[in-house]
Structure 1
């Protein structure tokens, strides 16, 4: 069976917490599990962590896979990430998916106090160590540019160790969040799946080429048929297209204008590559000036339609076909329990 023969799967993403837990998330997770959603996902930025909510909410589910979208690399050492994966996979009966991402320099250096340069090389080492812990074939040793096990300095008493816990699955799936072509290629080479944020069917050939480069590298784990692409795709069903777009404009403006430094915003780069370079400049200028309303108003409806499914039922159903023809295997959606039922009916 190839990816074209496989039905589009659905996942529910709880998103980031604001000042507290998302409203209605417990009921939505229960409904996602009941509806046969493939997965639920939790996120972290610089407030709530992604593991605690996933364990707490996931404990009440029985079928859905439980994934992090994303666990930030700078927040934990590779062995700590592997320990969390081992633990949650056991507790969930083999349903855990480890979604990893580097975040950006503002968060990595400003919040975690860690260096950001060379994120791709750092990711490669990180995943190597996680896989070594999960394999449990012997004490873990690593002498890299970013991570050394045992530590090179200190007391000199460090020794290679092997996890005391035997993995329920030594091949726990690892997904990478990636936006630039080099990072997407890395995901194809060393991971089991890719977590895009602002995917658009317009960019399918661009990402297909990046993935193909990674799959072609020596030692690549998978090919396209065995690789998962779980894309966050907002869906707003409403007869008024502009009303639906208005629900998402602030979200786009936040990421284009405020989720990254002016000189290093990878979310903005994704949107600019879709043909909205000038609009990104306007959005960024307004957002950094503190005028969030003007920033949101500068987000074109066409842009929202490129990265989301909005509008009347018939329009959304028709446009779903474009997404089914892309590399995306899973749509990660948000909403309350009622909205998830509507989405499940549309996609199913």
Structure 2
């Protein structure tokens, strides 16, 4: 495997943005981090923070991890991407994903079914915009261009983007968890952004990645915590993981829980969800095995992290996306990895 690259994962905002998010990106750039990534849920959008960062940096790559398909039409998403790529001097990477039915239907008011077919159409339209070889058209059924519906005026005209994109091939990454969706990313995207990844056991993704090209990128967010209190660091990650397994989805439709089951933890997954529904979040977090939490994170004293980095170097992951708001942790990880 090649050398691991480092990225800074800034995630989505809580009640407000982290006040030092630009400083953190600037520090990451100085330290040799390859990229900085912004996210969205149902609060801030993912593009705007990157504009702020891009205006105040010069080299670091800018990525969305991830923008939600249902939040924008494909052509609107492509306009955001080509604008940001232009303004940043060709530093933009478009990470996108379908999100889940609760957000798509509850927040965006759009239907969720057929996520794979929607993704395929969406990315095809975006690539047409970037290539600018002719007017953008799509037969549908999900994003027909021009609009064919009887409720329209019938005056839609296929259009070619006015702007000549700085790059005709802006890298596209897919946030995906289901086996078919991951396999689709190897076919139509330049890379994949998993949510959870165990470098000690990659078998859960093996079949989905069987046709991945050699230069296929995998950007994995990893919790890094240089500390002597390993138990506390693992517990913090367990809260994060259990929130997704237990709370981010409906009882019978939770893609994060499905992944946890495919990893071999069906009994634990059911228990976590049940405890979550009973509002016993502390207990739910503690159901996640120490060994699993430890495999997915880099926590402990420096020497321990240095040793455990080897599993990530040997894995298919190409970039570790470090989630931190602390400059010292940013430096320590750079020392360890770069």
In 2, distance between residues paired with 1:100 and 1:123? 9
SS in 1 for 2:37: strand
**Matched residues, number:** 335
SS in 1 for 2:93: strand
The answer to whether residue 80 in structure 2 is matched with residue 84 in structure 1 is yes
Assess if the C-alpha contact under 8 Å between 2:10 and 2:39 holds in 1.
Answer: yes
Task: Provide the TM-score with structure 2 as the length reference.
Answer: 0.96
SS in 2 for 1:344: helix
- TM superposition shift of 1:273: 2.2
SS in 2 for 1:11: strand
Assess if the C-alpha contact under 8 Å between 1:36 and 1:63 holds in 2.
Answer: no
The answer to whether residue 333 in structure 2 is matched with residue 343 in structure 1 is yes
| 1:39 to 1:142, Cα distance in 2 relative to 1, 3 A | same
In 1, distance between residues paired with 2:20 and 2:280? 30
The answer to whether residue 286 in structure 2 is matched with residue 297 in structure 1 is yes
Match of 1:260 in 2: 249
Match of 1:218 in 2: none
> Which of 261, 265, 268 is 1:276 aligned to?
265
Gaps of 5+ in 2: none
Match of 1:136 in 2: 132
Cα deviation 1:145-195 (Å, max 9, x = unaligned): 101100002000110001000000000000001112111110000000110
Match of 2:112 in 1: 116
In 2, distance between residues paired with 1:244 and 1:100? 29
Match of 1:208 in 2: 206
> Which of 316, 319, 328 is 2:317 aligned to?
328
In 2, distance between residues paired with 1:325 and 1:180? 23
SS in 2 for 1:212: coil
- TM superposition shift of 1:299: 2.5
Cα deviation 1:12-69 (Å, max 9, x = unaligned): 0101211111243222111101111110000000011101111112211111110000
In 1, distance between residues paired with 2:251 and 2:156? 42
In 2, distance between residues paired with 1:318 and 1:264? 38
The answer to whether residue 141 in structure 2 is matched with residue 145 in structure 1 is yes
CA RMSD in angstroms comes to: 1.2
| 1:202 to 1:263, Cα distance in 2 relative to 1, 3 A | farther
SS in 1 for 2:12: coil
In 1, distance between residues paired with 2:241 and 2:285? 7
In 2, distance between residues paired with 1:297 and 1:208? 28
SS in 2 for 1:41: strand
Assess if the C-alpha contact under 8 Å between 2:217 and 2:318 holds in 1.
Answer: yes
In 1, distance between residues paired with 2:160 and 2:79? 11
Task: Provide the TM-score with structure 1 as the length reference.
Answer: 0.93
| 1:203 to 1:122, Cα distance in 2 relative to 1, 3 A | farther
Assess if the C-alpha contact under 8 Å between 1:197 and 1:233 holds in 2.
Answer: no
SS in 2 for 1:176: strand
The answer to whether residue 168 in structure 2 is matched with residue 170 in structure 1 is yes
SS in 1 for 2:77: helix
Assess if the C-alpha contact under 8 Å between 1:197 and 1:231 holds in 2.
Answer: yes
Match of 1:157 in 2: 155
Assess if the C-alpha contact under 8 Å between 1:202 and 1:274 holds in 2.
Answer: no
Gaps of 5+ in 1: 216-222
